[in-house]
Amino acid sequence: MKKSTLLFVSTFCVLFSIYLVVVVSLQPDLKYILMDVYTEFFQKEIQNEGIAQEPVSVETDRSFDPTALVSYSGRLKKDTYEEHLSAAELKGLKLIQNDYELYLRVSEKSLVEAYSGKGYKVDSLTHSYPYFTPETKTVLEELGRAYESLAGEGNFFTVSSATRTEEQQKALKRRNRNATDGNSSHSFGVSFDISYIRFNGIRDWDAKAQKNLETVLNHFQQTGKIYVIKERRQSCYHVTVR
């Protein structure tokens, strides 16, 4: 084993041990700091090995015309979870089994972070990570712009869950019997949840804001960009990019 490789493995083991302690203590802020350390470390290692990384395109900020939204009344069409999972397996990454695989995807830029933007904000996450495939992030930003154009400047919805590893999904199932059995569409980088009881950073029932959000989700659903399920137990809309 080369000296540089041995150093890499040793450093990874130390960082991963520290990470486990943080996860057990459920301190999400420290967890994200460690994730940044992992990402930077992997990026340097990949560059040293001479692996070229493709640049990720950054979408320019564009306004959304609310008059372009598909007419909506009544209730959202309920897509099946089988459709969500099939789309995730087809459009998403290979099933992300653990944190090591997630960090590797981040270092390769096949997963990119998203914390906030026009019309949306990602909540502090304890059972998932604020990372998405580049295409999924683009759709999330489009949803946000459409929502703000309808609800008014400065208004935003909250993303309550994002990419989750298979290990996290199993742990969540042990704690929450309503969590999905087997593979979850969250483990492919193309699914996220949007709360319908948290708008503009306030947890409360807001019928107008929820209607605006449903109008936007319906538009993206009817135009073939997303699948949607309303999950009443979690008070959210489960969204998968298709």
Q: Summarize pLDDT for 146-180 with one digit per residue, the tens.
A: 999 999 999 999 999 999 999 999 887 766 655 55
DSSP for residue 163: B
Q: What is the pLDDT of residue 218?
A: 97
pLDDT at 8 over 80: no
How high is the pLDDT of residue 145?
Answer: 98
Residue-level pLDDT at 232: 93
CB-based contacts of 147: which residues, under 8 Å, 6+ apart?
119, 120, 155, 156, 157, 212, 213, 216
**Interior CA angle at 218 toward 112 and 57, to 5°?**
25
Q: Give yes or no for residue 195 having a pLDDT over 70.
A: yes
Share of the chain above pLDDT 70, in %: 71
Q: Which residue has the higher pLDDT, 50 or 113?
A: 113
Averaged pLDDT of the chain: 84
What is the band of 51 on the pLDDT scale with cuts at 50, 70, 90? very low
Q: Tens of pLDDT along 184-193?
A: 999 999 999 9
User: What's the pLDDT at 67?
Assistant: 85
- Start-to-end CA distance of the chain, whole Å, equals 43
| DSSP string of 66-95, one letter each residue | GGGSPP--S------HHHHHHHHHHHS-S-
| 134 has a pLDDT exceeding 70 | yes
Query: What is the band of 231 on the pLDDT scale with cuts at 50, 70, 90?
Result: very high
pLDDT band at 20 (very low <50, low <70, confident <90, very high): low
pLDDT (average), residues 215-225: 97
Q: How many Å apart are CA 123 and CA 120, to the nearest integer? A: 10
Query: What does pTM read for this prediction?
Result: 0.74
